[in-house]
Structures are given as structure tokens and as C-alpha cells.
Amino acid sequence: MLRYLVTDIAPSGQTCKIANDSSVHVTIGHVKLFRRLTFKREFFVPFVPTKHILLTFQTFHPLDGHMLKGEVIDTVSRYFDWIERRTASSLSIVQLAVCTLSGCTVVVVKCPDVLTALDMHSVSQEGDAPTVGSRRVLAFPCDNEDISDTELESNYYIVPTCTLCAERLEPTLTGYGNHTCSCPDGKECRCLLEQSSCLVCQTCIKMQYDSQRVQCDKCNRAGDPWICLVCGFVGCSRYQARHAKDHYCQEKHLFSMSLLTQQVWDYDSDAFVHRVVVLLDNTTGILNRVQYPDRDSIPTALTDESVEVTKEVKKKHINAKFDSKVEMSNEQLALMIINELHTRRMEYESELQEKSGVHEPSMCAPSLSGVVHLGEEFASLRERWKLLHNTSKSIREELLQRKAEEEALRQTCGQLEDELRGIIAQNATRSYALLKEMENLRETIADVETNLKTFGKLSQKMGNDSAEKICIVGRGKEQKSKGRGNGRSGAGR
């Protein structure tokens, strides 16, 4: 579920008519999409009951000055006609906004009820849905209730409005699906060059042509720039003047991408979260799209029986597989429950009308067929419940196994910590012994220096006399002061 906010609104009095709907005012500004922090890095996100659906169109240079281009209006109208035909419902547009940063067009649609919103969200993900060029129109449940700025800042985070920027991130961070374009598999995807007017995408292309042209917006340094995926701010890295990190501290924009490597850093999780890297060959103009494995996708090798896959590799993706099944089952079950409740409500209303004498006695006959139909639907619901129960049981078993593995890892970690403490203690003992030895050497050197100085002084007092051996005898400072005149003695002069 997403929430939207339009800031830096430009003056525009344009209104347009989408399909058979009434005139809609066009809002031009920086469109921000917010997602709940509780959904961050979660595989399964429940459908929160709402009548609003948010649509994102990856439009290319949609504005002509401060006016929305007619071709964009036609694209939105065609999609709106298609979705109304598929849902067989009358929909209304609440908001039509154009993002000046990403170039995307955001449309918020109000459905007659929650069931229609669920149906619209499901239909929009079908393969035959209209596209903008080769880019798919993405649909999200929309939270349109008013909340305070404090709640918005503390409970939500901003995700990129540009679908090309958002698909660089893991799906658990944005809520975007794996497929955001309709480009055929195995062929070159040129969406970045031909269908994006996003500031971040254009800066990324500029960086791959000439890295020295992209500099920090604060100190004009080049070399290792990082760009904010939310607002397009370019800052230098933490190994330079840290302006990219300072931008996060001020604006709380979580995602920053290195323009050198296209790795994306999440300041909140303190980890890299990139999934897709798009490399441009400057000489041929060919785009190379590299997709890293993420927790939502299962490698092909896992489904190939002829390939030997270790048990640990399969465990790595078991949660994503089960969560995907549970999510699909949950959505289908929600639709069936809503239909069942609607049917039961109609039957209860019919019975009340019969008891009040509104209907003829002959109208009671259809209720028997309704009961039979209801029994059949309950049977299908029982089968669905059994499937969900078995799936839940498998997940619980997997969780127990994960907990056992976690406990074993904790024990191993404790053993390693004990070994580390022993090594540190040995090093400390050895260091202490070395320090004592160094102290003894210092004392020996001091004694040698004292003897050499004394020998020199005595040699000066003896003059031309020579001695083979000099012995200094005394019992302390008092004896030395009393016998200062007789302090020289020797043999074999």
C-alpha cells in the first residue's frame, strides 16, 4: 500500500477529460510515494481494505511547458477504458499528477467498493494489460486518508516514483513486482534510453558517457558521486566530503546509488539493496542489464531435477516460495469470502422480505437452489482452507528447522568468541613479558652508561697514569662523600 504527496506544485489551470469521466484537474509538481515502515523488507504484505488504487505511468517527457501533452492523456484514457471494461464497474479519478522529477504520471482511482478495488488490483497485473511503450502500468492499493506530518515522517519512508529507479531495488523495499516492462526475454531492453525522462536515469547515462561531468552538488568534486534515488541530489562519497551521507541525515531519503558501480545503499538497513544494474557500452550504445538474485526469485537450478542442488541453497529460497503461495491464496480467499458474505446478505434480506409478506409464496422455491449452491461454495472453501492449512503447517516446520539452525549458529559463535578471548589473553601475557624484558634492558643500559661515565671521569683524574682494573668500593652516598679524596685505588699501575 502506498500513499502519495505532491510538493513544489507549479501553477497550472489545465483540466482534461479521461474517458467518460468528468473533467480532472492536472497537478504538476514533485510527486512523492510513501510506504509503511512496517512493510519494509517483508515478503508478505496484507491487502489493507481501501477503495483507492494508485496507478503509475512511465511517461516520457509528458509536459509541454506547464501543460500535459495530449498523447499522455490519450494513454491514460485508453488504460482507463480497458480497466472499466474488465472490472465492469464505474470508476472515478481522484487525482492526476505529473512528477517533474521522474516524468511519471500518477493517477489515483476511486472504486465503488473494496471488492472492486481488489479486482482492479488483480486485473492490472495480467499480461494483456495496456502498456506505455514497453513499460507496464503499475497498480498499488492507495491509502488516501489524511494523517499528520509527524505520523508521515515517523511511520513511512519514500520510494522512487520512477519505475526504472524502483526496479533497481529489492521488491520487498518498494512493493514493485519482478516484471515492470514487456520487453521480450533474451532481447535488449532499451527502456532506460528511450522511455525515461527521469533526472536520476539521465544523470546515470551522463555518468557512463563522461564521468567528470557529474560532480557533487555541494563541493563540485568528481570521482565517486552518489545520487539520491528519491530527489536526484548528487553528493560525494563517505571517503570524500560525505555530502551524500549528510543529505540522508537532513532529508531522511534512504536510498542512494553509486554512479560508478550502480550499487544502491540503504542507509536505514546499512546494507546494499540493489537488484538490477544497467551498463551502457559507449561505443555501440548497447545496454547490458545485469540482475542479481534476490530473495523473491527462485533460481532456475532449483526447479531442474537434473541439477544437483545443495539442501542449503534450497532452504535459502523456501520462505519466498511459501510466502508467494500464501499471498496468492490469501487474495483469492478474500475475494471468495466477500462474495460469500454478499450472497448470504442477499439471502437474509430475501427471507426477511418473505416473512414480512412482501414476496409471494412461490418466490420461496429459488431459496432451495441457493442453499445447494451455497453448499457447493462451502465445499470449495473447505478445500481452500485445507490447502492453506497444509501450507501453513509446512511453513511452521520450516520455521522450527530455521530456529534449530539459528541455535546451532549461536553455539558456534559462542565457541569462536571463547577462542578469541583465549587468543587475546595469550597475546596480553606475551606483551606483558616483552614489556618486562624491555624494562630490564633499559636498566642494564642505564648501568652501562653510568659505568662508562664513571670510568671516563676517573681516567681524566688519573692523567697519564694507567690502570688495568678499577674497582669502586663504597656503602652508599655517605661513604662516598667521606672518602671522596681516597676514591681512587687500583693495582698494577
Reported as a single tens digit per residue, the pLDDT across 321-358 is 455 455 556 656 666 777 777 788 888 888 888 877 64
- Residue at 471 is within a domain: no
Adjacent-strand bridge partners of 23: 17
**Domain shared by 146 and 244, yes or no:** no
- Cα angle: 115, vertex 116, 120; to 5 degrees: 120
Q: Give residue-wise pLDDT tens across range 360-411.
A: 444 444 444 555 556 666 777 777 888 888 888 888 888 888 888 888 998 9
* C-alpha cell belonging to residue 191: 527502456
> Which amino acid, residue 33?
L
Specify the pLDDT at position 203: 92
Domain boundary among 421, 450, 465: 421
| Residue 484 C-alpha from the chain's centroid | 86
Q: Classify each residue of 227-250 as buried b or exposed e, where b means 16 or more C-beta atoms within 10 Å of its C-beta.
A: bbbbbbbbbbbeebeebbbebbee
**Domain shared by 42 and 154, yes or no:** yes
**Domain shared by 194 and 144, yes or no:** no
Burial class from Cβ neighbours inside 10 Å (0-12, 13-18, 19+) for residue 95 reads buried
**Domain shared by 65 and 213, yes or no:** no
Q: What is the pTM of this model?
A: 0.60
Q: Considering only CA atoms, which of 276, 153, 121 is closest in space to residue 204?
A: 276
- Residue at 117 is within a domain: yes
Q: Considering only CA atoms, which of 139, 101, 97, 98 is closest in space to residue 119?
A: 139
Tell the residue number behind the cell numbers 558521486, with chain if given. 225
Interstrand relation of 92-99 and 23-36 (parallel, antiparallel or unpaired): parallel
**Domain shared by 150 and 210, yes or no:** no
Domain boundary among 258, 273, 296: 296
Cα(197)–Cα(163) distance, integer angstroms: 11
- Residue at 444 is within a domain: no
Q: Give residue-wise pLDDT tens across range 130-168.
A: 999 888 999 999 998 889 999 999 999 999 999 989 988
**Domain shared by 151 and 6, yes or no:** yes
**Domain shared by 25 and 142, yes or no:** yes
- pLDDT tens-place values along the chain, 493 residues long: 899 999 999 888 888 888 766 688 999 999 999 999 998 888 778 778 899 999 999 999 999 988 999 999 999 999 999 999 998 888 899 999 999 999 999 999 999 998 889 889 888 888 888 999 888 999 999 998 889 999 999 999 999 999 989 988 988 898 876 567 877 665 577 788 888 899 999 999 888 888 888 999 999 988 889 999 999 999 999 888 899 999 999 999 999 999 988 889 999 988 888 888 887 776 666 777 777 765 444 444 444 444 444 455 455 445 444 554 555 566 566 667 777 777 888 888 888 888 776 444 444 444 445 555 566 667 777 778 888 888 888 888 888 888 888 889 989 998 998 898 889 888 888 888 999 999 999 999 999 999 888 888 887 887 776 666 666 665 555 544 444 444 444 444 3
Cα(338)–Cα(336) distance, integer angstroms: 5
Number of domains in the chain: 3
Boundaries of domain holding 55:
1-161
**Domain shared by 292 and 325, yes or no:** no
**Torsions phi, psi for 222 (to 5 deg):** -115, 180
Cα(329)–Cα(385) distance, integer angstroms: 9
Cα(19)–Cα(16) distance, integer angstroms: 10
Query: Residue 215 maps to which CATH number?
Result: 3.30.40.10
Tell the residue number behind the cell numbers 511547458, with chain if given. 65
**Domain shared by 292 and 370, yes or no:** no
- Residue at 29 is within a domain: yes
Where are the extended beta strands (E) located within 50-99? 52-57, 63-64, 67-68, 92-99
Any residues with CB less than 8 A from the CB of 92 and at least 6 apart, and which? Answer: 21, 22, 109, 110
